[in-house]
């Protein structure tokens, strides 16, 4: 093992040299930081500065370097030294840019900078160079589950990029719902008329593509392994099992139409003349095959009038039906109204809506329908009453504010969609309710409708469950702001309407993005690197088993299913599944889990390296533990905007609030810090945490800190949890100042000097 040799580098550029006493910073790094080599440079990120550091690595044997210059988020390409351990001291965004350039502020600004130098030196000495995950997988084949438009698009895009694809479709043909469409909503200018659904062309391209192997009438029986080395059992029609090795997975399993039988007030099932949108597509395809107009199902006579009922069972505020919009129903009704107008302009076509949404084509498609004579009326339908071969549609006209009705040969319900997400692994296990004896499966029996429990899609061998975690309304969970394709299972991505409501064009764009992310995951897995959001990170968690108490907190709290248990019930890390969030580290009560470049010690040593003034100095010390994904970037940008905040805070970036081990808070308070502020991402249904559950888990643990504070005879307000978004650039400094003012109103910490 090479001898450890440390070095600190102080940059004087970007006004650092004019605002700070850099000679004093050199002295701090030498005496307090105890670094073997300490150097100054006018512009550390310049070619000469980088060459100086590289020369020390090559010729002086430097193994650990503390770069005291700008934020660790800046100049990452210039400061790229992969063979050594490296820390960053933020003197620019974190010190001089958030402090006024006045003589009165110079003393506290210098103290702030010297602390950040000490912290950088302490951090790097607690780090080792990550060797990279040795349990890598090098398989570069992509598995796509679902052969609809989303799945076919992912397969074709991955193939175009040069990757092999295994495509699994449960039915006998590719195409999904799109194959059942007579035509699709137009995707290009001038958006005047429906266009071909495009399925036949895509299927032909897949069949001719040597990179794509398609399994039809097949399902996933078992999924084991990790990115780069998944092993998948595919149950095929013959009853046999085909085995495939794949590097990443895309779940593109689409949706099921909302059951119109749950809308008895609209007479679905009571007359064949009330259909859902899929039912009308079937009528249109059959009519086109015969070369005839769409006919009334009840007697085969031509349709003379049709009413489209929007938001039938969706956007429902009562909670009885779907609370969300399908994202395509309005455009679909416009398209279907054109089926009638294009065959016979004299057919009365009325679209009853509350809000009309036409994503992707502005209002051009809507205007084209108006020009063809389609009538759009703002109204809420209360009831459809069948009478012979016709129907009476009762609704409230929202423009005239009166109840009225319309007669129609055919009524079309826009019923919305339900994602095919598989088993909800987070749902409490309950005994299934017995269906009424007289009600067949799927049949309406009074108000009770027998339901079929969802089957697993992926059949994962994860201790957390066989399918993907679900978001609200049953859609597969993914980071809806920053990483829309990622799920809580590393190397497994979702695309299309199984992820969120969307139309065909959006689904194809979604599927292309998912394919690119899956390719990135396979490539990173082969190199032993982390995926999003710490893409390229070579570190991975290790555990000292001799200190493990087998409490299972790490296995339970890991948001990504990366930790199992061995035969002795010790945690077993699957490094390729790990996102490097550190939630396991924060959960461990005995602190035996760590990463080479991030550990209880790397943060703890920074906390302890800060000079805490005595109780008579009137200079409090406030620790801020800031999430590196939202809070720390917001602080950096606040500095770029020269937004000032209190000089008595010391900021340490952390990977996630979920990685916070409570020992850091205890150590800080015992060491004389006057307050601790934790900055994490928003959690809950509209979470912004890049590690999905990290901030929520961290806050749950931190909710118990109040008892510790009371036991130390400290005010509970000394520890403050703050939700921070990356956009809180202007407001965050004021929140820090408000908290600092609160801390200053308390007596100094009684633990100063101990």
- Which pLDDT tens digit goes with each residue over 305-324? 999 999 999 999 998 999 99
| 300 CB neighbour count, 10 Å cutoff | 9
Q: How far apart are CA 63 and CA 5, in angstroms?
A: 5
Looking at the domain assignment, is residue 406 inside a domain? yes
User: What CATH code is carried by the domain that includes residue 101?
Assistant: 3.40.50
Same-domain check for residues 229 and 298? no
Same-domain check for residues 43 and 114? yes
Q: What is the mean pLDDT of residues 333-347?
A: 96
For all residues of the chain together, what is the average pLDDT? 92
Same-domain check for residues 270 and 405? yes
Q: How confident is the model at residue 1 (pLDDT cuts 50, 70, 90)?
A: low
The Cα angle at residue 331 between residues 501 and 485, in degrees rounded to 5: 25
3-state helix, strand, coil in the chain (%, to 5): 30, 20, 45
Residue 302, strand partner residues: 295
Same-domain check for residues 618 and 723? yes
Q: Which residue has the tokens 């994602």?
A: 419
Same-domain check for residues 383 and 272? yes
Looking at the domain assignment, is residue 495 inside a domain? yes
> What pLDDT, in 10s, does the model give residues 51-66?
999 999 999 999 999 9
Same-domain check for residues 261 and 250? no
DSSP 721-751: EEE--TTTTTTHHHHHHHHHHHHHHSPPPTT
Q: How confident is the model at residue 439 (pLDDT cuts 50, 70, 90)?
A: very low
Same-domain check for residues 151 and 250? yes
Looking at the domain assignment, is residue 469 inside a domain? yes
Q: How far apart are CA 92 and CA 207, in angstroms?
A: 57
Same-domain check for residues 463 and 520? yes
User: What CATH code is carried by the domain that includes residue 481?
Assistant: 3.50.50.60
Looking at the domain assignment, is residue 311 inside a domain? yes
Same-domain check for residues 273 and 374? yes
Looking at the domain assignment, is residue 349 inside a domain? yes
Contact of 288 with 463, CB cutoff 8 Å: no
Q: Which residue has the tokens 């039912």?
A: 279
Looking at the domain assignment, is residue 486 inside a domain? yes
Whole-number percent of the chain with pLDDT over 70? 96
> What pLDDT, in 10s, does the model give residues 23-34?
999 999 999 999
Contact of 422 with 457, CB cutoff 8 Å: yes
> Which has the higher per-residue pLDDT, 704 or 716?
716
Same-domain check for residues 408 and 269? yes
Q: Give the domain extent around 329.
A: 257-416
Phi, psi (5° rounding) for residue 88? -130, 130
Same-domain check for residues 145 and 238? yes
Looking at the domain assignment, is residue 622 inside a domain? yes
The Cα angle at residue 369 between residues 333 and 295, in degrees rounded to 5: 55
Name the domain count of the chain.
Answer: 5
Same-domain check for residues 217 and 343? no
Looking at the domain assignment, is residue 436 inside a domain? no
Question: Is pLDDT at 440 greater than 70 in this prediction?
Answer: no
């Amino acid at each position: 093992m090479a001898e450890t040799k440390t070095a600190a580098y102080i940059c004087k550029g970007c006004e650092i040299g004019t605002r700070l006493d850099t000679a004093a910073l050199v002295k701090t790094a030498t005496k307090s930081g105890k670094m073997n080599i300490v150097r100054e440079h006018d512009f550390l990120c310049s070619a000469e500065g980088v060459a100086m550091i590289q020369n020390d690595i090559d010729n002086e044997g430097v193994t650990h370097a503390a770069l005291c210059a700008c934020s660790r988020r800046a100049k990452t390409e210039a400061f790229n030294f992969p063979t050594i351990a490296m820390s960053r001291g933020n003197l620019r965004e974190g010190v001089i840019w958030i402090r006024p350039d006045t003589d009165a502020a110079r003393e506290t600004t210098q103290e702030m900078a010297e602390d950040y130098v000490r912290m950088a030196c302490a951090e790097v000495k607690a780090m080792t160079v990550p060797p990279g995950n040795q349990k890598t997988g090098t398989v570069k084949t992509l598995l796509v589950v679902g052969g609809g438009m989303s799945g076919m698009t992912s397969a074709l895009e991955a193939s175009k990029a040069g990757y092999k694809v295994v495509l699994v479709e449960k039915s006998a043909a590719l195409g999904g719902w799109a194959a059942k469409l007579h035509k699709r909503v137009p995707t290009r200018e001038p958006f005047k008329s429906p266009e071909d659904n495009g399925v036949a062309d895509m299927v032909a391209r897949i069949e001719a593509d040597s990179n794509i192997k398609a399994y039809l009438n097949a399902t996933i029986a078992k999924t084991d392994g990790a990115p780069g080395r998944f092993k998948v059992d595919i149950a095929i029609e013959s009853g046999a099992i085909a085995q495939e090795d794949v590097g990443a997975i895309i779940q593109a399993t689409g949706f099921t139409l909302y059951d119109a039988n749950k809308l008895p007030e609209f007479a679905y099932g009571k007359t064949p003349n009330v259909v859902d949108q899929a039912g009308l597509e079937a009528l249109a395809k059959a009519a086109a095959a015969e070369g005839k107009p769409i006919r009334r199902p009840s007697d085969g006579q031509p349709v003379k009038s049709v009413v489209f009922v929007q938001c039938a069972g969706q956007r429902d505020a009562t909670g009885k039906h779907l609370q969300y919009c399908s994202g395509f129903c309005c455009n679909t009704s416009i398209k279907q109204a054109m089926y009638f107008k294009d065959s016979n302009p004299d057919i009365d076509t009325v679209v009853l809506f509350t809000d009309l949404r036409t994503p992707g084509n502005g209002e051009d498609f809507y205007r084209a329908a108006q020009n063809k004579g389609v009538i759009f009326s703002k109204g809420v339908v209360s009831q459809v009453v069948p009478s012979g071969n016709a129907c009476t549609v009762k609704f409230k006209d929202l423009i005239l504010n009166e109840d009225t009705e319309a007669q129609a040969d055919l009524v079309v319900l826009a019923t919305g969609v339900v994602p095919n997400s598989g088993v909800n692994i987070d749902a409490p296990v309950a005994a299934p309710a017995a269906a009424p004896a007289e009600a067949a499966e799927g049949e309406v029996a009074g108000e009770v409708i027998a339901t079929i429990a969802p089957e697993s899609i992926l059949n994962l061998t994860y201790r957390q469950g066989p399918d993907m975690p679900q978001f609200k309304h049953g859609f597969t969970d993914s980071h809806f702001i920053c990483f829309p394709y990622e799920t809580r299972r590393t190397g497994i991505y979702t695309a299309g309407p199984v992820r969120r409501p969307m139309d065909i064009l959006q689904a194809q764009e979604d599927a292309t993005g998912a394919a690119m992310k899956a390719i990135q995951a396979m490539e990173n897995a082969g190199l032993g690197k982390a995926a999003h959001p710490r893409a390229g990170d070579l570190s991975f968690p290790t555990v000292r088993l001799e200190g493990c108490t087998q409490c299972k907190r790490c296995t339970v709290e890991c948001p990504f299913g990366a930790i199992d248990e061995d035969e002795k019930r010790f945690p077993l890390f699957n490094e390729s599944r790990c996102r490097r969030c550190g939630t396991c580290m924060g959960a461990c009560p005995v602190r035996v889990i760590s990463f080479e470049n991030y550990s209880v010690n790397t943060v703890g040593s920074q906390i302890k390296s800060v000079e805490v003034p005595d109780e008579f100095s009137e200079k409090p010390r406030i620790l801020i533990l800031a999430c590196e994904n939202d809070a720390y970037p917001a602080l950096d940008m606040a500095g770029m905007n020269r937004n000032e905040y209190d000089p008595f805070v010391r900021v340490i970036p952390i990977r996630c609030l979920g990685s916070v081990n409570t020992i850091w808070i205890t150590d800080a308070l015992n060491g004389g810090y006057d307050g601790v502020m934790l900055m994490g991402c928003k959690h809950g249904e509209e979470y912004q945490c890049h590690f999905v559950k990290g901030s929520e888990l961290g806050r749950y643990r931190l909710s118990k800190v109040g008892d510790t504070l009371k036991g130390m005879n400290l005010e509970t307000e000394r520890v403050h949890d703050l939700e921070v978004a990356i956009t809180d650039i202007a407001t965050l400094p004021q929140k820090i100042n408000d908290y600092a003012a609160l801390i200053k109103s308390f007596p100094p910490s009684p633990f100063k000097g101990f």
